[in-house]
Amino acid sequence: MAEAVDLRFEVNGRAQAIRVEPRELLADLLRLRLGLTGLKVSCDVQVCGACTVLVDGLAVSACTYLAVDADGRSVRTVEGLAPDGELTLIQQAFIDEAAFQCGFCTPGMVMAATALLADNPTPTREEVVAGIEGNLCRCTGYVPIVEAVLAAAAAEDGR
């Protein structure tokens, strides 16, 4: 077994220094050791998107991302979107458009949508669909989710 290594990275704007096993997954580190349970673990094979977090602004599946690969990087979880309690436009749009039912996929969807809108602030419906295609929802039929992302984009454009 390989020796533990020191990991220094930023999580939701806060510097972290922690020892990790080289095989430890980012999802386990965030959920089990740092208590950030907003990201969910479901498939463990990068299929469902429930564990989506942003690493240096890019959406990644934390269930297959090694924690050591986050060394020197910035990680943002759903808890880091509204640290002072004021919801982001995408979070508010999910509420306004009733874009969730059971809520299990919601953090991953919100993170994927956050990355999409950061990269493309005025996406078309087709671009939204493509942007969230790695995230599965078994409840909503995706229509309200797509509408929420489009509403957040429109609200941002109107600012």
User: If phi over 0 gives left and psi between -120 and 50 gives alpha, with beta otherwise, what is residue 57?
Assistant: left
**pLDDT class for 125, splitting at 50, 70, 90?**
very high
Does a structural domain hold residue 84?
no
Residue 141's pLDDT is 77
Domain check: are 14 and 64 in the same one? yes
Token couple for 51: 């564990």
Q: Which of 58, 79, 100 marks a domain boundary? A: 79
Token couple for 31: 């959920």
Q: Is 2 exposed, middle or buried (0-12, 13-18, 19+ CB in 10 A)?
A: exposed
Q: Per mean pLDDT, which range of 11-20, 33-42, 125-134, 150-159 is the poorest? A: 150-159
Residue 24's pLDDT is 97
Check pLDDT > 80 for residue 158. Answer: no
DSSP-assigned states of every residue in the chain = -PPPEEEEEEETTEEEEEEE-TT-BHHHIIIIIS--TTS--S-SSSSS-TTEEEETTEEEETTSSBGGGGTT-EEE-GGGT-TTSPPPHHHHHHHHTT--SS-SSHHHHHHHHHHHHHH-SS--HHHHHHHTTT---SSS-SHHHHHHHHHHHHHHHT-
Per-residue pLDDT of 54-103, as tens digits, reads 999 999 999 999 999 999 999 999 999 998 889 999 999 999 999 999 99
Per-residue pLDDT of 29-52, as tens digits, reads 999 999 999 999 998 888 899 999
Domain check: are 69 and 98 in the same one? no
Domain check: are 105 and 151 in the same one? yes
Domain check: are 31 and 74 in the same one? yes
Check pLDDT > 80 for residue 112. Answer: yes
Range of the domain at 16: 5-79
Please, which residues bridge with residue 54 across strands? 59, 76
Domain check: are 65 and 16 in the same one? yes
Does a structural domain hold residue 55?
yes
